Structure 1
Amino acid sequence: MKNLRLFGTSATIITFALIALSGVGLFFGIRAGFIKTAHEWIGLAMVIATLVHIVANWRGFLGYFKGTKTAAIILPVVIVLGAWVYSTTMPKDGAAMWKKGLAYKKLVMMDVNTAMDALGGNKAGFAEFLASKGINAPTNISIKDFAKANKLKEHELLNAMLK
C-alpha cells in the first residue's frame, strides 16, 4: 500500500504541474503544435493518478467527510458540476433555443396573425421581412404551414415577428 500511496501522490502532483503549465500556456494563446493534445492526454492521466491517490489514501479521504467540513467540500463540487451540466446542455444557437419545449410547439401551431398579436410583434417589420423574401402568402395559416409553404424555417418567422 505504501508504494501505491507514493505512486498515486507523486503522479497526481506531477500531472497537476504539467496540466497547470499547459493550461496557462493555452490561456495565453500559446498553441505550439502539441500543447493542446498534451494537455488533454495529461488531463486523462491526472484523473487516473487522482483516483489511485484517493484509493491509496481512502481512510484519510473519508475523514474529510465527517462533521461540518462535509458541506464546505460537497457544496462547491455540486455547484461546479451543476454549472458544467447546465453549460453543456444549453443550445448554442437561437434556432435550437426556439425548438425547446411545449411553448414552441404550441406557438408554431398558431396562425401567423394570432402569433403576431400574442408576441406583440412588429407588423411593419414582419411585412418588410416577407417582402424581402418575395412572399405575398396569406397569414391566416399556422406558422408551421406558412414556413413550409414558403420554404422558410419556423424560427426565422418567429424572429422576424419579434424584430
Structure 2
Amino acid sequence: MKFLRTWATPLTAGSFVVLAVTGLLMFFHLDRGLNHFAHEWLGWLLVIGVAGHVAANFLGFKKHISGGIGKAVIAAFILILALSFIQPEEEKRPPGWAQPVKALAFLPLKELAFVAKMSVEEVRERLEEDGLNPTSNEQSIKDLVGHNLRRQVGALNAVFPEESED
C-alpha cells in the first residue's frame, strides 16, 4: 500500500490542479492553446490517481461512504450524473451552422463550383478523391451522401480545404 501512496496521492493532487484550472478557464471561456486538450486527456491521470488513492486507503474510504452522509453524497452525485444525460428540448435543434451546410449541400455541383471559385471538374475530382462518385454536374452533395449532416460536412470539407488566413 505504501507504494500506491507514494504516487497515487501526488498524481491525484497534481492532476486535480490541472483539471481545476483548465475547467475554470473553460467555464469562463478563457481557455487558450492546449487548455481544452489538457483538460480532456489529463483527466485520465486523475482517474488513475484516484483509483490508486482509493486502493491505498480502501478501509478509510469504505468507512467514509458507509455512514449516512457518505451514502447521501454518493447517491446525490449518482443522481446528478444520471440527470446530466437528459437533453433539454431546446438543445435538440441542429447547431447554428447546420443550415448553411445544408444550403451548400443542396446546390448542384456546377453551382457549388462557382461558390468554391473552382471548375466543376476540380470539384468532382476532389469528391472522387474523397470516395464519392458524382456522375452529373446537376447532382448535389446531398444526392451523393444523403441527409446525414456529418457526411455532408465531410464532403464539403473535401471541396473547401482549409486555407491559411490572409
Q: CA deviation at 1:59?
A: 1.1
Is structure 2 residue 80 aligned with structure 1 residue 80?
yes
Q: CA deviation at 1:90?
A: 7.1
Q: Which residue of 2 aligns with 1:93?
A: 92
Query: How many aligned positions are there?
Result: 94
Please list every run of 5 or more consecutive structure 1 residues that lacks an aligned counterpart in the other structure: 96-163
Give me the whole-angstrom Cα distance separating, in 2, the residues matched to 1:7 and 1:20.
20
Give me the whole-angstrom Cα distance separating, in 2, the residues matched to 1:29 and 1:92.
20
2:22 corresponds to which letter in structure 1? S
**Closer, same or farther in 2 for the Cα pair 1:32/1:70, shift >3 Å?**
closer
Is structure 2 residue 37 aligned with structure 1 residue 5?
no
Give me the whole-angstrom Cα distance separating, in 2, the residues matched to 1:74 and 1:27.
24
**2:85 aligns to what SS in structure 1?**
helix
Give me the whole-angstrom Cα distance separating, in 2, the residues matched to 1:31 and 1:77.
26
- Which entry has the higher C-alpha Rg, 1 or 2? 1
Alpha-carbon displacement from aligned partner over 1:41-79 (angstroms, at most 9, x marks no partner): 111211111111111111111111323234322221222
Give me the whole-angstrom Cα distance separating, in 2, the residues matched to 1:23 and 1:9.
20
Please list every run of 5 or more consecutive structure 2 residues that lacks an aligned counterpart in the other structure: 95-166
Give me the whole-angstrom Cα distance separating, in 1, the residues matched to 2:66 and 2:14.
29
Percent pairwise identity? 30
Is structure 2 residue 60 aligned with structure 1 residue 60?
yes
Question: Superposed, which structure 2 residues align to 1:13-52 within 5 Å?
Answer: 13-52=13-52
> What is the TM-score with the length of structure 1 in the denominator?
0.50
Deviating above 6 A after TM superposition, structure 1's stretches of 4 or more consecutive aligned residues are: none
**1:31 aligns to what SS in structure 2?**
coil
**Closer, same or farther in 2 for the Cα pair 1:33/1:82, shift >3 Å?**
same
Q: CA deviation at 1:39?
A: 1.0
Give me the whole-angstrom Cα distance separating, in 2, the residues matched to 1:90 and 1:43.
29
